[in-house]
Amino acid sequence: MERRPTIIDVAKAAGVSKSTVSLVLQRSPQVKEDTRIQVREAMARVGYVYNRSAANLRSASTGLIGLVINDLRNPFFTEFAASLQMKLAEEGYAVVLANINEDAEMQAKMIVALIEHGVSGFVVSPAYGAEDNTLEAIARAGLPAIQVFRKVDDRDDLFPFLAPDYQTGSRLATEHLYNRGCTQVAFVGGLADRAVTMERMSGYLEVTSQRGHEPIVITGAASHEFGVRGARDLYDNYPDVDGVLCFNDLVALGLMAGSQKLGRSIGKDLRVVGFDNIEGCLQSEPQLTSVSCGIPGFAEEISRRMLAWLNDGTPPELGGRTAVELVVRGSS
């Protein structure tokens, strides 16, 4: 097990100097085609692999992006992580992943670790809690960082915030329900004080009041179980509700299951729309109408903005929202 070959070994094998090899590595146009080929051949011959740690010591970027995710097990965030990683890989960047499990302390620790590893930038879907300080280390290191989905630090210039256009999504969904003939539409799920909940609710409130109806809001956990409970709650306390916009698909699926158990026919007696368009939407009976947040597209957008920031120094403009889409299925 001998040590890995370096550019010096390659240089020797190719009969050139190590600078030339370095130039070839960087695709410099000023090296002659002949020598370029020679060098490439030598590389293959000695089994050379580029050492980015060493390169990084001299030049700036490591080609590493830190990806901090509040809850990787949630399919919504998994989808994002997977999409972003693949997009960044296309551009030659690798992703160092930190799943922080909704733990602000863990988040702070992982951020420091990622900085030590020399990440060139951050994409953070942060945990709530300790809002003030958890991104501080990034600020001190002067690294570019984008907050996605959740905003825990208000310094927009340091940590620009980007999210899908939830408000439009909830507006579309609510209008869809009324257009289908619903007379009373409720909003179910989502913790009351969270910004995401406010946004996913805002379009609902807007349309509902526009149409002269009373809003009916039942906030709570964003879980399947809460959806089941919500079905009972509606049944007992709001029997006239014939349309529901749910905070997310998990809640919606739970609410559908719960309502069916109570004898209601989904898509007829009760129309249901979810949020996120997860795979489970296709596996329920009837299938669930949902607001798709276009996560792969969103990830691509984030990738693009991050690279622009890194390469051209252009931080993302504020207030950017990316397109969402209502996917209509049997449940409504």
Partner DNA sequence: TTGTAAGCGTTATCAT
Partner DNA sequence: ATGATAACGCTTACAA
Least separation, in Å, of the C-beta of 16 and DNA?
3
Edge-to-edge strands of the sheet including 289-292?
216-218, 185-188, 243-246, 271-275, 289-292, 325-327
Within residues 50-89, the interface with DNA by CB under 7 A covers: 50-51, 54-55, 57-59
Q: Does 158 bind its own copies (CB under 8 A)?
A: no
Q: Which is nearer to its own copies, 5 or 316 (CB)?
A: 5
Q: Which does 117 bind (CB under 5 to 8 A by kind): its own copies, DNA, none?
A: its own copies
Spell out a b/e string for 97-125, using b for 16 or more CB atoms within 10 Å of the CB, else e.
ebbbeebbebbbebbeebbeebbbbbbbb
Find tokens 């509606």 and name the residue: 234
Q: Does 4 bind DNA (CB under 7 A)?
A: yes
Per CB under 8 A, which region of 116-124, 158-166, 174-182, 269-277 contacts its own copies?
116-124
Distance CA(58)–CA(257), nearest Å, equals 59
Q: Does 257 bind its own copies (CB under 8 A)?
A: yes
Q: Does 30 bind DNA (CB under 7 A)?
A: yes
Q: Which is nearer to its own copies, 174 or 331 (CB)?
A: 331
| Residue 286 to residues 32, 223, 267, 283, Cα–Cα distance (Å) | 65, 19, 8, 8
Q: Which does 265 bind (CB under 5 to 8 A by kind): DNA, its own copies, none?
A: none
Q: Which is nearer to its own copies, 62 or 184 (CB)?
A: 62
At 321, the amino acid letter reads R
CB count, 10 Å around CB of 160? 21
At 2, the amino acid letter reads E
Q: Which is nearer to its own copies, 270 or 278 (CB)?
A: 278
| Residue 18 to residues 35, 42, 61, 155, Cα–Cα distance (Å) | 12, 12, 21, 45
Beta strand 121-125 with 145-148 is: parallel
One residue of 27, 32, 73, 268 binding DNA per CB under 7 A: 32
Within residues 23-62, the interface with its own copies by CB under 8 A covers: 47, 49-54, 56-57, 62
Per CB under 7 A, which region of 17-25, 185-193, 255-263, 284-292 contacts DNA?
17-25
Q: Which is nearer to its own copies, 142 or 319 (CB)?
A: 142
Least separation, in Å, of the C-beta of 17 and DNA?
3
One residue of 37, 44, 113, 262 binding its own copies per CB under 8 A: 113
One residue of 25, 96, 137, 327 binding DNA per CB under 7 A: 25
Q: Which is nearer to its own copies, 49 or 240 (CB)?
A: 49
Q: Interface with its own copies by CB under 8 A: which residues?
A: 1, 4, 47, 49-54, 56-57, 62-64, 67, 72-73, 75, 78-79, 81-82, 85-86, 89, 92, 94-99, 101, 106, 109-110, 112-118, 140-142, 224, 253-254, 257, 261, 280, 282-283, 285
